[in-house]
Amino acid sequence: MSNQQTEGSFENPCPKNYQFHDLELYKYACRENTVVYLPTGSGKTMIAVLLIRDMAAQVKNSLTEGGRRKIFLVPIVVLAKEQASYIRRNTYLEIGEYYGELGVDLWR
């Protein structure tokens, strides 16, 4: 696995024994656009963090310089906060949170 991160110290998002099959999904997602649909607690966030870390160099560039942005969607506010916190702890990237409580529905 290539890992672009070079700064900071992060939690180890290594899979639990029952999540090794998720590494196969991660490897596939490195090659193809992928939607991962798995039950709660089965490793979706770990897969996302591994992909985000691999693509960190693309995120650091500005959009005008060919940079890209990653979007992680969740259905409820508490989950948005939880996932943003987990991604912050496991990457050195700036992570934003956007949900209705912040008034984003009124943005124009």
Q: What is the pLDDT of residues 18-43, one digit of tens each?
A: 567 778 888 898 899 888 888 888 88
The pLDDT, as a whole number, for residue 81 is: 94
pLDDT average, residue stretch 52-77: 86
102 has a pLDDT exceeding 90: no
Single out the residue of 61, 63, 65, 57 nearest to residue 91, CA to CA: 57
Statement: residue 5 has pLDDT above 80: no
pLDDT at 85 over 90: yes
Single pTM value for the model: 0.70
Per the model's pLDDT, the better-predicted residue between 29 and 104 turns out to be 29
